Each structure stands twice: as C-alpha cells, then as structure tokens.
Chains A and B, each alone.
Chain A
Amino acid sequence: MPRNSRILILLSPVILWLLIFFFLPLISVFIYSFLKRGTYGGIEAQFTLENYQRFFDPIYLRILWRSVSTAFVCTAICLLVGYPFAYYLAYYRPKFRNVLLLLVVLPFWINFLIRTYAWILILRTEGLLNSSLSVLIPGFQPLELLNTPFAVQIGLVYGYLPFMILPLYVALEQMDMSLIDAAKDLGASSRHAFWHITLPLSLPGILAGSMLVFIPTVGAFLTPDILGGGKVSFIGNVIERQFKTARDFPFGAALSFILMIIVLVGTVLYFRTLKGRESVET
C-alpha cells in the first residue's frame, strides 16, 4: 500500500470524527450567537449583534471579572503551595518520590463531582470544620462557609493543585542542581541563588502549571455551582442557565464563544512565551 493512502486510512477516522462532532458544533454555536432569540425559546433566523452587546451589561462584566480574578487567585495559591512542594521533591529527592507523586496525581483521577461534594461535608454549617472549631474554641459560633466565594476558591484550588505540581516538578527535576552549589561556592547566598538560578530555570514549569490551572478554572462550571450554591456565578454558570432554564440559546452561544476566545488567547500567549524561551517539543 502506498505511504499516502496508509496515512489517509489511519487519519480519516479522527479527522471525520472531530469535524462532525467538534468543529461543526463549534461553527454552529458561532452562527447561533448572531441570531435572535425566538418567542418560545427557539431562534429567529435574523442577524444581530445583540447577544454580544448584552455581554457588556455590568452584571455580566462583573461575572466575567469574578471568573477571571478567582481563576487568577487560584493560580497564585496553587503556585505558592505547589512550588515548595515540587522543589522539595526535586531538590531533596526523598526515597518515596514516585509514591508521593502518585499520591498527588491520584485525586485527579477521582470523580471531580465527588471531590467537590466532599467539601460540602466539611464546609457546611454543621460540617466538620465548624464542629472541630467549636470543640477547640469554647463559645465558637458556626461560620457560614458554604455558598460563599471562599468555598468556591477552596474547591478550585483543591481541584487543580495537582495540575500545578506536576509541571513544576518536571521543570525542577530536569534542572542541574549543581548549578546552585556552584553559585554558592562562588559566594551567592541561598536566596540569591534561588532568585537568579532556580526560579528563572523553572519558569517553563511555572508557565505550564499556571496555564493548566488557569484555563479550567476560568471556565469552571461545577465548582461554583455546587460550592457557590447559585450565589457565586462564573461565566460557565451563566451559560448553563441560558441553555437549561432561561432558554436563551443565542446569548448562551455568544457567552460560550467569548469564554472560548479567552481560553484560546491564553493558550496562544502561553505557547508564544514558551517559544520565545526554547523550541517547543511536540
């Protein structure tokens, strides 16, 4: 069989499948976002920019800001917690390094819904956190923790922390640690060596981890839905409402498109930055 037809046979299933069930749907959402909403939740075949204009209403801009800023804070927290974690594994090379890594990855494979639900048990008014605090502190008044931005923030950090740790570990692990010793021999302080050697060399890991955390959190739907109890909406929740309850599909389509653009711009920026630093491996 000639080489080209072999490639064609191997690739036509994936190309066809993605074309029909991925690209055509995305194109139809794009077209949809320019149509008018019909009277009974349907659509009217009439071109309009209304759905995009509506997005600039302060209500939606505030929701967009909440999604982006929460995702940003989540990324920062994951970095602050994840970096020392990955650094310890890479620098001190503890004996059970692989087991520790496996334990970091394991929660990622556990149903996200269940992991989010678990926080309800901990954060609710009669939950474990409040009851342990009331045992420790006499006269403690239970806090309202569930259905708050705090609960959503915790849930997101919980969900995506492993995504930060792994790329950081990979970057730090590849680093030549003798560079640090060399710098110290030449008179650099530990702090100086960290800021001028370790941190710059681990930047690809920081970028990759940040992207892997930021992208899913900005588009999050489940965490704000379950731990925010409808009070802490993200763009994802507004999109869901347009399709499940409000039945304003064109507006939901426009919001989805905006969300997708944000995510894609983030991804492209990431690859640009990476390419500026070193050639990308694919």
Chain B
Amino acid sequence: MKRLLETNIILVFLFLYIPIFVVIVFSFNSGNQISVWEEFSFAWYGKLFKNPNVWRACKNSLIIAGVATFISTIIGTAAALAIEKYRFRFRDSLIKTLFLPMIIPDIVLAIAVLTFYRTVVDYPLGLTSVIFAHVVFNIAYVTIVVRARLEGYDATVEEAALDLGANEWQTFWRVTFPLIAPGIIGGALLAFTLSIDDFVITFFTAGVGYTTLSVHIYSSIKFGITPELNAISTMLLVNSIVLILLFLWFRGRKTESI
C-alpha cells in the first residue's frame, strides 16, 4: 500500500513539473521549432531582449502590478485591521462579500468591468482601467494574508503604548505596523504576483496599445508561436518563483506552516 502511494506521489510530481521543465529546456534551443531539440544556445534570449514590444509589455505589466499592489495593499490592510480588531454588525457579511471577487469566474468580472467602463461611466480603456479592476481581486488576497498575521496578535501592546502617552498615529506606526509588516509585505508580494500573471481581466479591460506581458504571450500563442515564447515564459517562471519564495519567507517569519 505504501509503495502504491509513493508511486502516486512521484507520478503527481512528474505530471506537475515535466511541462514546466520542457518550457525551460526548450528556451535554450537554437532551432526554429518550439519542441524539436537542435542545440543549446541563448539565441532566443538575445532576440527577446532586442524586441521592443516585449520591453513595452514588460513596462506596462510592471506599472499595472505596481500601482494595483500599492492601492490594494493599503485597502486590504485597513480592512483586515477592522475585521480582526473589532466586532461590529455586518462583520460576517463583509467577510463573505470580500470573498466574492475570488469566487466569481474572472471572465465574468472582466466583462462586468468592461461593460461598466464602456456604457455606464464612459471611461477610456488604458492602463488605469486595468489597475482599478486588478485592485478588486487583489484586495481579497491581501486581506486574507494580513488577517492571518493579525490572528493571535496581542492587542495589549497597543494599549500599553497608548497608556504611555503615544497618540494613535504613533501607536500604529511604531507598534502595530512593525508587528504586522511581514504580513503586509507578504500580501503585497502575493498581489503583485497575481497582477503580473493575470491575463483574462487585463485582456478585456486594457486599451488598444496597452499590451502586458501576459497579453503578449497570449497573442503569440494564438497568432504565431515562436521559440521566443519559451524564452519569455522562462523569464516569467523565474520571476514568479523568486516572488513566491520571498512571499513564503516573509509570511513564514513567525509561523512555519505553508
């Protein structure tokens, strides 16, 4: 029985990781075919770095993810503080409502926001239109991570600070903030990763000419796959893995569970 279970573990890991390794390996292939090996080379990385479209898409991705992360981290942290520190009416409904953007299929959220921009407020599609929509789904994730950090948080240290004459603002920045900072940074890293990786919502809410890396990859898959795609994918893979290890490191600074 144990043998059988162990075989299952190995098969699952092969299933999960072979595709990822395939992309990485073929990004170092010299040929013009995406999945027929010729010889090792950095040729496609060279092409990638000279492609102005990729640089532009990269810039757009970073702007969107950066601003969306900034806004959602502030809003999400504030929400987490309110939920964890106070008991108030509608608290349970609020917690449930916060989860809604995570539950609803992203295509529904995407077309809802698109319809809203186009017909209700007549807002032009560009970078900001994407950022606003990204904040919606990021808030939920930031709130969850910060709440997890606040659980088991000892509120008496704040009371002590207030008793000793600190005002509320000072208490927040000198006592509360440093204590929950790993949670906030963790939440921000998570939001940033989700934002960079998002395709569906960006695809619908970005204006023409505001291509992000994900949208660039999608168009390449749809309208002409070249091995350059393997190279971009590998770069993004490495980026995600670094971000997520950072996230786990920050989150794990108190607890050791995953």
A84 touches B81 (CB 8 A): no
Distance A140 CA – B236 CA, assembled complex (angstroms): 36
Contact: A11 with B78, CB < 8 Å?
A: yes
CB pair B119 A43 closer than 8 Å: yes
Contact A10 B244 (CB under 8 A): no
The 8 A CB mask of B88-108 against A (1 = contact, 0 = none) is 100010111110110111111
Q: Are A127 and B35 in contact (CB under 8 A)?
A: yes
CB neighbours (8 Å) of B76 from chain A are 14
The digit string for A249-273, where 1 denotes a CB below 8 A from any CB of B, is 1001100100110011001000000
Contact with B along A28-46 (1 / 0, CB 8 A): 1100100000000001000
Q: Please report the C-alpha to C-alpha distance between residue A228 and residue B166 in the assembled complex, in whole angstroms.
A: 62
CB distance from A226 to the nearest CB of B (A): 6
B173 at interface by CB-CB < 8 Å:
no
Knowing A85-B12, A112-B197, A240-B107 are in contact, say whether A128-B258 is a contact too (CB < 8 A): no
Looking at B39-47, B50-58, B128-136, B179-187, the stretch in contact with chain A turns out to be B128-136
Cβ-defined contact, B86 with A3, below 8 A: yes
By a CB distance below 8 angstroms, the chain A residues around B243 are: 109
* B11 CB, min distance to chain A CBs, angstroms: 8
Q: Which of B230-258 contact A (CB under 8 A)?
A: 230, 233, 236-237, 240-241, 243-244, 248, 256-258
In the bound complex, how far is the Cα of B105 from the Cα of A220, in angstroms? 7
Asked if A114 and B120 make an inter-chain contact with CB atoms under 8 angstroms apart, the answer reads no
Cα A101 to Cα B237 with chains together (Å): 19
Bound-state CA distance A88–B113 (Å) is 43
Chain B interface: which size bin?
Answer: 35 or more
Q: Does any Cβ of B come within 8 Å of A118's Cβ?
A: yes
Q: How far is the CB of A32 from chain B (nearest CB, A)?
A: 6
A22 at the interface (CB under 8 A from B): yes
Residues of chain A lying within 8 A (CB to CB) of residue B94: 11
User: What class of interface size applies to chain A in its complex with B?
Assistant: 35 or more
Shortest CB–CB separation between residue B131 and chain A, in angstroms? 10
Residue contact B233 to A117, C-beta cutoff 8 Å: yes
Given A122-B18, A260-B108, answer yes or no on A10-B79 (Cβ-Cβ < 8 Å): yes
Contact partner, B248, options A22, A102, A222, Cβ 8 Å: A102
Contact partners of A112 in chain B: CB under 8 A: 197, 199
Q: How far is the CB of B93 from chain A (nearest CB, A)?
A: 10
Q: How close is A26's CB to chain B, nearest CB, in angstroms? A: 5
Is A111 within 8 A of B197, CB to CB?
yes
Q: Closest Cβ of chain B: how far from A216's Cβ, in Å?
A: 7
Q: Quick one: which of B100, B116, B139 contacts A14, CB cutoff 8 A?
A: B139
A167 within 8 A of B: no
Q: Mark B73-90, 1 if CB is under 8 A from A, else 0.
A: 011101101100010100
The 8 Å CB contact of B115, one of A22, A29, A128, is A29
| Contact, CB under 8 Å: A128 / B22 | yes
CA distance A128 to B230 in the complex (A): 15
Is A61 located at the chain interface by the 8 A CB criterion?
A: no
CB distance from A270 to the nearest CB of B (A): 10
Judge whether B136 and A10 touch: CB under 8 Å: no
Query: Does A117 contact B221, Cβ atoms closer than 8 Å?
Result: yes
User: Is B6 located at the chain interface by the 8 A CB criterion?
Assistant: yes
Residues of chain B within 8 A (CB-CB) of A124 are: 35
- Contact B2–A92 (Cβ < 8 Å): yes
Residue B16 is within 8 A (CB to CB) of chain A in the complex: yes
The verdict on B223 contacting chain A, using a C-beta distance below 8 Å, is no
> 24 A-B pairs, CB-CB below 8 angstroms?
A18-B98, A18-B139, A21-B116, A22-B101, A22-B112, A24-B116, A24-B120, A28-B116, A28-B119, A88-B8, A92-B5, A98-B256, A109-B244, A110-B240, A111-B196, A111-B199, A111-B236, A114-B236, A117-B233, A121-B22, A161-B16, A218-B105, A226-B222, A260-B104
Known: A7-B86, A18-B98, A22-B112. 10 other contacts (CB 8 A): A84-B5, A84-B8, A106-B241, A107-B20, A114-B237, A121-B26, A121-B34, A218-B105, A219-B108, A263-B105
The 7 closest A-B pairs by CB, nearest first: A219-B105, A118-B19, A25-B116, A25-B112, A10-B82, A88-B5, A14-B79
User: Which residues of B approach A to under 8 Å, CB–CB?
Assistant: 1-2, 4-6, 8-9, 12-13, 15-20, 22-23, 26, 33-36, 74-76, 78-79, 81-82, 86, 88, 92, 94-98, 100-101, 103-109, 111-116, 119-120, 132-133, 135-136, 139, 143, 168, 193, 196-197, 199-200, 204, 214, 217-218, 221-222, 225, 229-230, 233, 236-237, 240-241, 243-244, 248, 256-258
